[in-house]
Amino acid sequence: MKRSLVAYASSDDEDPTPPKKPRVDQPRKKLPGLPSSIYAHVDDPAMHQGRVRTSRHVEGLYPAYVHIVISLADVPELADVVTDATRFARGELPALRSTCASEADIQTEVDQGAAELHISLSRPVFISANQRDSLRAAARRIAAKHRPFRASFSTFSVLTNDERTRTFLALDVGAGFQQLNDIVQDVNSALRAMHQDTYYDDPRFHASIAWAVLHTASALSSESSVPEFPPYLLQRISDKFMPELGKLSPFDVGRLNLRIGKTTDSWDLGVPSSR
């Protein structure tokens, strides 16, 4: 650390000390405010429907993940199954919340093209500002390498995040699994080069359609969280909606998405990069 130099009087200086001037009080200057960056980041679960941050907030790092987006407006039959299954599940378990639309009216958001399902192809990672362009460039190359394909969902399932703060009602991918896994291998290579965590060794590709806070993580009332997703409810959902799910036509997967912070970039699969 650099230290500032302090001026001391010379030993050769024999001048007498000048007389002191009378002190005049000056108006005190107002100190500048502290920069916002020094304040601790505080998470209030009540402001986020009970969700708890599972990774500590670090100034200058950006959350990022690679995923596939399915617009439910493009697959109306799938939208019907998702809407009906979510409403049925919430009727039995009011603490559940939709992941693909607001609580006001799922069907309205489907009609407006705002309701989406996401299939994750990476874990959430945190990257520095100077890694953002590198990750975008890697995702662009990966998208160009892989061709569009068709996929479908085969079953309903219940999943819990690694930190056991939330539980999810999900749709598991059937057809299209191998193509998704091929993309993940390339995503893993890019993340490994950046010293980031890769995706699970035994991936289970899925799209969450509803979630709930678990009791152990909730700072809200017990009515807003659950001890677990009831096994009987998963069975009832499967019995009621699996026949409809099995009749659905496959959907197209034609774009790769990367979200960094609040910005999402998207590239067509199989289209050579222009940069």
Question: What value does the mean pLDDT of the chain take?
Answer: 81
Number of domains, the chain: 1
pLDDT at 115: 85
pLDDT at 274: 65
The CATH number of the domain where 64 resides is what?
Answer: 3.90.1140.10
Q: Is residue 255 part of a domain?
A: yes
Predicted confidence band at 60 (pLDDT cuts at 50, 70, 90)? confident
Query: Is residue 15 scored above 60 in pLDDT?
Result: no
> Helix or strand or coil: residue 28?
coil
Q: Is residue 165 part of a domain?
A: yes
pLDDT at 29: 43
What are 175-215's pLDDT values in tens digits?
A: 999 999 999 999 999 999 999 999 999 999 999 999 999 98
Q: Is residue 30 part of a domain?
A: no
Q: Is residue 21 part of a domain?
A: no
What are 117-136's pLDDT values in tens digits?
A: 999 999 999 999 999 999 99
Domain that holds residue 251: 60-268
What are 219-240's pLDDT values in tens digits?
A: 555 678 899 999 999 999 999 9
To 10 degrees, the CA torsion angle through 115, 119, 122, 127?
Answer: -10
Question: d(Cα 164, Cα 218) in Å, to the nearest integer?
Answer: 11
